[in-house]
Amino acid sequence: MGRPAEQAEIARLRRELELTQAKLARTETALTIVGKARELLEDISRSEPDGPDVFGLGKR
């Protein structure tokens, strides 16, 4: 077994790793959602190029 200071550092680093992995998972999920939203908006814009101005943005 290591010294108490080493064990404390290992525990701190393990907790930091857990938090970082959780943050990474949330970020990856958010990126997936944003990508799907972008695809959906592209599909909508392609399917009705002359349709009504649903979002109130005007024709561009």
What confidence tens digit (pLDDT) does each residue in 41-60 have?
A: 999 888 865 656 667 776 55
Domain assignment of residue 59, yes or no: no
- The number of folded domains in the chain is 1
Inter-residue contact 31 to 25 (CB < 8 Å): no
Angle at 29 between CA 57 and CA 13, to 5 degrees: 135
Which residue segment(s) compose the domain that 28 sits in? Answer: 1-43
* 1 vs 47, residue with greater confidence: 47
50: in domain: no
Q: Which residues contact 1 (CB under 8 A, 6 or more apart)?
A: 7
Residue 25 lies in a domain: yes
Task: Confirm whether pTM is higher than 0.85.
Answer: no
C-alpha 28: how far from its chain's center?
Answer: 4
In a domain, 19, yes or no: yes
